[in-house]
A and B are shown apart, each in its own frame.
Chain A
Amino acid sequence: MEGPTPLEIARNVVSLARRAGAEQCDAIVSMYTEANVTVRLGELEKLIEAGSMSLGLRVINGGRTAVCSTSDLSPAALERFAAEAVDLASISEPDEFAGLPEPELLSRATTAAGLSLYDEHMETLSTDERIRMAKACEGAALGFDARK
């Protein structure tokens, strides 16, 4: 993947927000790819493939919170974005219970490995194989009973 990693982008935004006056802040960058095949009555009906990256920033100043997100990750836009988030925090009322978790409460795990949430085999499936699987599944359902 070219360009900065999601973690590098998140670290950068946190430091931009701190420079703009944020006392406490956290940033989340999510990046995903999507592949979606829909088959109807034996024919391919929908084929969707895409990639996406977006960023969320939470700023907490004196208990006042603002949450902002953007998918414009160009450097100039991010600097403006961080400053706007700090500004927006100033209109909330302070909430004494708002704040980042204590460091000792943060998770040690850095991957979802071991949670059995994801089948890596999906990454190697070609579009043609996905279409074949969808057709086979629908075909089995349609062929199960003469009443359609």
Chain B
Amino acid sequence: MSNPGADSIAFFHSRYNIDSAAMSSLLSIALSRGGDFAELFFEHRTNSAIQWEDQCVKSASRNVAQGVGIRVVRGDAIGYAYTESLDMEAMRRAAGTASRIGASEERPAPVDATPHLSGGSFYSAGEPLTGEPAARKVALLERADRAARAFDPSIARLDASIGDELKYVMVARSDGKVVGDIQPLIRFNVSALSQQGESRQIARTGGGGRLGIEYFDRVTPEELGRDAARQAVLQQGASEAPAGTLPVVLAAGDSGVLLHEAVGHGLEADFNRKGTSNYSGRIGQPVASPLVTVIDDGTILDSRGSINVDDEGNPSTRNTLIENGMLRGYLHDEVSARHFGVAPSGSGRRQTFKDYIMPRMTNTFMLPGESTPADIIRSVNHGIYAVSYSGGQVNISNGDFVFSVTEAYLIENGRVTSPLRNVMLIGNGPDVLSKVTAVANDYQLSDGRWTCGKDGQSVPVGVGMPTILVSGITVGGTKVG
């Protein structure tokens, strides 16, 4: 698929008879009562999922959704309407409804919608997984199960799931630009339970991205199954985590989720436009240690968080948010870009055609530094080494966050020693970033399993990190003293 944009535009034309003339007409109706700009967002989405439990397929599902969302923006105000029916009559009604955010008398505004067909894609997917026969997907689940159980006799239960999505989108804007995209997405999750006597420990792994079945040549079901089993067994012998403020080494890869929560949301421009983020008004100021450079980049090949175009039709880009500790910019949608007088950053997203646009992250990561992971660990006398996470949440008005760490170890006298369980990291985003005292050269992108939730809308995202040392984070554990 070297030109998903053109293919998607052709899809909507042949299947629903939506051509440039139809789109121009709808946009004119949308702007007939005035407004700064308008857009039509067409979507056709197929989702499949297969759940594996007790060594068999527990359930299988397939969902098809289609529709158009029509948005009119006037200053900071939005008029929005959507419909599942892609016939002209229903779409005209929706465009009329959205136009009511406008203030002026009815006055049709002419729009000339023209497809923009630039080739190239950040997804190298061959055939989408959505088209594969179910039996091939089931075979992958079986392989994860076999490998996890073979790893250790204590593995008493293995749940797994495989999900895929194929989304055709087309955006027609009132500036005349029409773009499209075909977005594949796959996700494979494994959960292993280890039972030893009365003790039951569960661990989860997963991965995926904007790929087809070839993903499983790069990351096999056996690797994912074995890793879930390994972590579950590790928890069996784990000690309770100490409590208190300690130096924490965040391992490369998954630790990026901390960056996403602690800093990323605060840098979304809608919060800053409204003055509700703790980064509001701080462009050009130091917000982190000079070792810290944070990027949000939607152009990483095959990554879960990547997109060719955002849901407003702007191309995906690489955005430098924090550079050597200084705040450089926010993530913008069209509304905030106009408000701040900057170019859009390709960050305008919506979960489905039914939803309005908000600035969202794509792949968020920190750039590597000069240290090595070994040197960083050696430098810690008594601290924590955090490797895997199950997720967290943040208060964007002040940057306070909480994280659940699912694989962690004690560091004693510069060596990684016993595994720990029930480790929580509690802190404040800007505070943690100002306490980054070492950044290693081993950058890794976390495998694709993260979903970001904001204001009721979910988007798939990617995170990445090199190994870093934070001089002090509050660790919530149960072992005091």
Residues of A within 8 A of B (CB): 40, 43-54, 65-72, 81, 84-85, 88-89, 91-93, 95, 127
Contact A71 B56 (CB under 8 A): no
Inter-chain CA distance A91–B137, complex, in Å, is: 10
Stretch from B71-79, B248-256, B395-403 forming part of the interface with A: B71-79
Q: Which residues of B contact A52 (CB under 8 A)?
A: 67, 82-84, 354
Q: Which residues of B contact A88 (CB under 8 A)?
A: 60-62, 134
Q: Which residues of B are found within 8 Å of A91, using beta-carbon distances?
A: 50, 57, 60, 134-135, 138
Q: How far is the CA of A84 from the CA of B64 in the complex (A)?
A: 12
| Closest residue of A by beta carbon distance from B72 | A47
Interface contact tally, CB-CB below 8 A = 94
B282 at the interface (CB under 8 A from A): no
- A-B residue pairs in contact (CB < 8 Å), sample of 6: A44-B101, A46-B77, A47-B100, A48-B81, A50-B97, A52-B84
Contacts A49-B80, A93-B57 given; 11 further ones with Cβ under 8 A? Answer: A47-B100, A48-B79, A49-B81, A49-B97, A50-B80, A52-B67, A52-B82, A52-B84, A67-B60, A70-B64, A91-B134
Q: Which A residues are in CB contact (< 8 Å) with B372?
A: none
Residues of B within 8 A of A (CB): 50, 56-67, 76-84, 94, 97, 100-101, 134-135, 138, 274, 354, 356
Question: Cβ of A95 and Cβ of B77 under 8 Å apart?
Answer: no
Report Cα–Cα, A65/B50, bound state, in Å: 11
Q: Which residues of B contact A89 (CB under 8 A)?
A: 60
User: Looking across the interface, which residue of chain B has its beta carbon closest to that of A36?
Assistant: B80
| Minimum distance in angstroms from A97 CB to a CB of chain B | 11
Q: How far is the CA of A5 from the CA of B59 in the complex (A)?
A: 30
List the B side residues contacting A53 at CB < 8 Å: 84
- Please measure, in the bound complex, the distance between the C-alpha atom of A141 and the C-alpha atom of B411, giving whole angstroms: 51
Known contacts A71-B66, A91-B134, A45 near B84 by CB under 8 Å: no
Say yes or no: A69-B63 contact (C-beta < 8 A), given A45-B76, A45-B78, A50-B82.
yes
A95 to B80, CA, bound (A): 44
In the bound complex, how far is the Cα of B101 from the Cα of A89, in angstroms? 46
Cβ contacts under 8 Å, B61 to chain A = 66-69, 88
In the bound assembly, the distance between CA atoms of A47 and B35 in angstroms comes to 13
CB-CB under 8 A from A84, the residues of chain B are: 62
Q: Which residues of A contact B135 (CB under 8 A)?
A: 91
**Given A88-B62, A92-B60, A93-B56: A51 and B77 within 8 A (CB)?**
no
Chain A residue nearest to B50 in the complex (CB): A91
- Please report the C-alpha to C-alpha distance between residue A117 and residue B106 in the assembled complex, in whole angstroms: 39
Are B84 and A54 touching (Cβ within 8 A)?
yes
Residues on B with beta carbons closer than 8 Å to the beta carbon of A65: 59-60
B82 contact set on A, CB distance < 8 A: 50, 52
Q: Would you call A71 and B79 a contact (CB within 8 A)?
A: no
Give which listed residue, A40, A47, A66, A69, contacts B59 with CB less than 8 A. A66
- Chain A, Cβ-Cβ closest to B75: A43
**Whole-angstrom distance between the Cβ of A57 and the nearest chain B Cβ:** 10
- B62 and A50 within 8 A (CB): no
Which 10 pairs, one residue from A and one from B, show the smallest C-beta to C-beta distance? A93-B56, A48-B80, A71-B84, A70-B64, A50-B82, A69-B63, A92-B57, A67-B61, A91-B134, A68-B62
Asked if A47 and B79 sit within 8 Å, CB to CB, the answer is yes
Chain A positions within 8 Å of B67 at CB level: 52, 71
Please measure, in the bound complex, the distance between the C-alpha atom of A47 and the C-alpha atom of B65, giving whole angstroms: 23
Which B residues are in CB contact (< 8 Å) with A69?
61, 63-65
Chain B residues near A81 (CB-CB < 8 A) = 64
Q: Quick one: which of A44, A45, A50, A93 contacts B58, CB cutoff 8 A?
A: A93
Are A51 and B83 in contact, CB atoms less than 8 angstroms apart? Answer: yes
| Given A52-B354, A88-B134: A68 touches B63 (CB 8 Å cut-off) | yes
